[in-house]
Structure 1
Amino acid sequence: MRVYMEFALKKFQNRLAYRLEFFMGIINTIITIVVFCSIYKALYAGTESVDGITFQMVATNFVISLGLSNAFSFDEMFLQNKLHDGNITSEFLKPVDFKFRMLWENIGEGMFKVFFHFVPAVVFCSFFIELCAPKDGISVLLMGISVILGYLILWQISFIVQTWCFWLFSVWGIITIKNVVVNILAGSMIPIWFMPTFLRKIVSYTPFESIYFTPIRIYLGELAGNEILYGMAMQVVWIAILYLIGNLFWKNGVRKLVVQGG
């Protein structure tokens, strides 16, 4: 485990070298928060709540989703680049698990963006935007567990799409489409509360709701007791399903690579 943590630390340190990107990341996050919250505030137009959802809840949903999207930051061209430059074969010779190495490097990337992009921006915006406080300390703890599960769900989805580079010349377009779908159906751009009933029902049968919306609902106190357990259980189920799918693509892709190389 220590070896993989070193991969995360190395990735974190590498990002510290780009100071201009550090400041631009903060500015970009501030602008994003201000613009989206201003749009939602205009839509509320002085109305206290819409279908029981207050502006504070919407703003909190967006800010937390933005923070999670920073934490859930992946180098989604990593596998394709390794294939194109031919370094994938040497990667397999290293005494580490390639997938686990990818995961921990992504964790290092995400932690950098949270600490140096998101947190400073939120501290600045907190003077202008009032957010909902967590229900209690237990909710924060359970949300933290749910965030980890949501991270693993999104990472597995990303990994599955990346493995398609074994059969396609470039997965950039597919990754772009995947990111748009996730941003919409996971509720980071449009809160799932405001989706049409039929669409929200469809989303409930997909892994997307479990990525951001489940942790946020736990934070806001919308879920309690057995509802929290059910939400987390669904996250675990999706992790297992996506892991099996990703593993199937990975094994077939590596086999195809070995056959071509041989």
Structure 2
Amino acid sequence: MSLFSKFLVLAFKEKYAYKFDFYISILASLLVIVVQINVWEALYKGSTVDSASLQQMITYVMISSIIFTLTKSEAGNKIGRKIEDGSIISDFTRPVNFKNYLFAEDLGNNFFQVIFISFPAVFIVSLFCGFSWPGSFLNSIIFVISVVLGVLISFYIKYNIGLFAFWLETSWYIPFFVFAVFELFSGSTIPLWFFPEWLKNICYLLPFRMIFFEPISIFLNKYSYDDSISILGIQLLWLMVLVVLEKLIWSGAQKKIVVHGG
């Protein structure tokens, strides 16, 4: 088993050790989904919306909750804390790729939460609200690939933002900044269909829509196969840009090590 796999499994087991937490988390996830669905039902009541039907929006909320869990990352916060307490020095001496170590921990935590929290919550809600699966098998495969690329894009964005702690020497800004930009530009809560034209144009210039909006749009069969493949191509392009950016930032970060502890 590779080191990456070991870190992933250890993170998964660590989450499993706190069984009471995930019972509460299932309830919390369930409540969040129900509240969002009720908001959309209230907005759609007595209205006709061309962009998406109410059932599609209910499905959008469910899929978004799963992707939200898959794309959670503590990488930025961990980098900041390690810089503040000086433990980052030990990470430079370990025979483990620092980025892969953080990514494996995120995946282990996120897989646990998806399997034991998000899926049960979505299943319970779908029994009462329904769940539309409009696409074909091929469309579903494209959707899964798009989600995988979205997870990678999300991690690299958050990891790159976290690396700036080497210069700022603090990490308190990371969760606020990440939440704000993702909430506004990714379409995680409000799909881009409902955005004003000027804001939608800005979103189309940024990578955030590739994490939530585009994969879910593919799932809901909003695109032709050719358009869906084009989305995958754009996701790959953004991923390559973020990988190159990460290498540049990491190269600079290794020369800029100022820690307060250790």
Which TM-score bucket, shorter chain as reference? Answer: over 0.9
Letter in 2 for 1:74: S
Contact 2:86/2:260, CA 8 A, preserved across alignment: no
For 1:61, the equivalent position in structure 2 comes to 60
After superposition, residues 125-164 of structure 1 pair within 5 angstroms as: 125-164=125-164
Bigger shift: residues 225-234 or 175-184:
175-184
How does the TM-score come out when normalised to structure 1?
Answer: 0.94
Q: How far apart are 1:139 and its partner, in Å? A: 1.2
In structure 2, distance between residues paired with 1:187 and 1:179? 12
3-state secondary structure, aligned to 2:255: helix
Structure 1 runs of 4+ off > 6 angstroms? Answer: 258-261
For 1:19, the equivalent position in structure 2 comes to 19
For 1:71, the equivalent position in structure 2 comes to 70
RMSD after superposition: 1.9
In structure 1, distance between residues paired with 2:229 and 2:123? 32
- Unmatched tracts of structure 1, length 5 or more: none
Q: How far apart are 1:259 and its partner, in Å? A: 11
3-state secondary structure, aligned to 1:132: coil
In structure 2, distance between residues paired with 1:28 and 1:260? 37
- CA distance 1:173–1:258, shift in 2 (3 Å): closer
Q: How far apart are 1:260 and its partner, in Å? A: 10
3-state secondary structure, aligned to 2:131: coil
After superposition, residues 118-197 of structure 1 pair within 5 angstroms as: 118-197=118-197
Contact 1:147/1:215, CA 8 A, preserved across alignment: yes
Contact 2:147/2:211, CA 8 A, preserved across alignment: yes
In structure 2, distance between residues paired with 1:109 and 1:223? 32
In structure 2, distance between residues paired with 1:32 and 1:181? 20
Q: How far apart are 1:172 and its partner, in Å? A: 2.3
Letter in 1 for 2:62: V
Number of aligned positions between the proteins: 260
How does the TM-score come out when normalised to structure 2?
Answer: 0.94
Percent of aligned pairs with the same amino acid: 31
After superposition, residues 1-262 of structure 1 pair within 5 angstroms as: 2-47=2-47, 49-75=48-74, 76-257=76-257
Contact 2:218/2:228, CA 8 A, preserved across alignment: yes
In structure 2, distance between residues paired with 1:53 and 1:85? 49
